[in-house]
Amino acid sequence: MIGKGGIKGSFNHENDPNAIPLPATMIHGLSKLYSGDGTAVSLYSAFPFPNRASRQLDDFGKQAWGTLSSNPDTVVTCIDTIKGEPVMRVAIADRMVSDACVSCHNGRADTPKADWKLGDVRGVLEVDLSVASALANR
């Protein structure tokens, strides 16, 4: 269990031997790993923690957050052009599915919002797939 027995969840896990990545931090890490092969994963919301306070959502990100916040069961997609290449962007809601999500997000000193409830949409999980590399890998 995260936070017990001296192991803690941290967004700085790479520099701390007693830390494992938090779910969100793991997604950010996976995104770094994937970024070579035309796939990217990202997790975001209108309530970033202070370490990501400067993050700016683009138009698709704003639209995805807005739509999924009120309709969590939808899937928001588009074909976008990123660095001149067609990219398929797919966004789904990341919901507070367990008490662990809620208690950690409400309890942390650095939380940007402390009144999350079970079932709330906490963020957007987006997967981007380069159309060209998807075709090349068939």
- Scanning 45-53, 70-78, 79-87, 130-138 for contacts with ligand HEC by CB under 6 A, the matching segment is 45-53
Question: Closest residue to ligand HEC, Cβ-based?
Answer: 123
Provide, rounded to whole angstroms, the least separation between the CB of residue 137 and ligand HEC.
29
100 binds ligand HEC (CB under 6 A): yes
93 binds ligand HEC (CB under 6 A): no
Q: Scanning the structure block, which residue is given the tokens 């090349």? A: 136
CA distances from 87 to 29, 49, 79, 94, 134 (A): 21, 28, 6, 22, 10
105 binds ligand HEC (CB under 6 A): yes
96 binds ligand HEC (CB under 6 A): yes
Decide whether 38 or 116 has the Cβ nearer to ligand HEC: 116
Decide whether 18 or 51 has the Cβ nearer to ligand HEC: 51
Decide whether 49 or 134 has the Cβ nearer to ligand HEC: 49
Decide whether 27 or 87 has the Cβ nearer to ligand HEC: 27
Sign of the alpha-carbon torsion through 62, 70, 79, 38:
positive
Q: How many beta carbons lie within 10 A of that of residue 44, not counting itself?
A: 21
Q: Scanning the structure block, which residue is given the tokens 């939808």? A: 74
Q: How many beta carbons lie within 10 A of that of residue 40, not counting itself?
A: 19
Separation CA 27–CA 42 (nearest Å): 7
Q: Return residues touching ligand HEC (CB under 6 A).
A: 2-3, 9, 11, 22-25, 28, 43-45, 47-49, 51-52, 94-98, 100-101, 104-105, 108, 122-123
